[in-house]
Chains A and B, each alone.
Chain A
Amino acid sequence: DAGVTQSPTHLIKTRGQQVTLRCSPKSGHDTVSWYQQALGQGPQFIFQYYEEEERQRGNFPDRFSGHQFPNYSSELNVNALLLGDSALYLCASSFFSGSYEQYFGPGTRLTVT
């Protein structure tokens, strides 16, 4: 039973570019949440997707957008990258009608130069 997977592992982009990160949820999960974790900080909620729709959004600008596919996998897109977007991006999956637990993937380390 595969856990939450994310790709790529690491990514280096230049300021102003666009990036797409990918997440596959744990088997049986239908909800995907994205978090940004800056160095030395706790994860910050970006948004959550369920039934291919954004269910809740945190305090992030519109440069951050997402998508969920029919197979429950998800993408996070960030446009017009800023140096401050450098962080570990974590995906967490859960089961909407089940327990509260959210399980995290290994993350994508994004560096913006």
Chain B
Amino acid sequence: GENVEQHPSTLSVQEGDSAVIKCTYSDSASNYFPWYKQELGKRPQLIIDIRSNVGEKKDQRIAVTLNKTAKHFSLHITETQPEDSAVYFCAASPSSGYALNFGKGTSLLVTP
């Protein structure tokens, strides 16, 4: 089955700096790659996603890049703010609406 690895497990940055979280996946059939943000005690919230026919997608301060050849994708957050502090999960799915296979998460701390 699909195996998603995520790094780093913890990340601490100063407010205003950029943060990068990286994931690799094993199943070449995966074609959908969402990122979720989970604040303490709350539900995972979809913040951005990318499909295999696109190499990069951006939404304001958040961007995701995908390298299908190398089977890795990354989340980039620019101009970080304290409210960006949360656990971020990457996931991969082989087809539309099927199971999401999650990484173990990255705990991001943005200090003022």
Bound form: Cα–Cα A48–B100 in Å: 10
A38-50 toward B: CB 8 Å interface, digit per residue (1/0)? Answer: 0011111100100
Residue B112 at the A interface, CB < 8 A? Answer: no
A interface size (C-beta, 8 A) = 29
If over half of A's interface residues share one DSSP class (helix, strand or loop), that class is named, otherwise mixed; here it is loop
Those of B59-112 within 8 Å (CB) of chain A: 89, 91, 93, 96-105
Residue in B44, B99, B104 whose beta carbon sits within 8 Å of that of A33 in the complex: B99
Residues of chain B at the chain A interface (Cβ within 8 Å): 1, 4, 6, 32, 34, 36, 42-46, 49, 51, 89, 91, 93, 96-105
Assuming the contacts A100-B93, A103-B46, A107-B43, asked whether A42 and B99 have C-beta atoms less than 8 A apart, the reply is: no
B97 and A102: CB pair below 8 A? yes
B99 and A56: CB pair below 8 A? yes
Residue in B36, B96, B102 whose beta carbon sits within 8 Å of that of A100 in the complex: B96
B99 and A58: CB pair below 8 A? yes
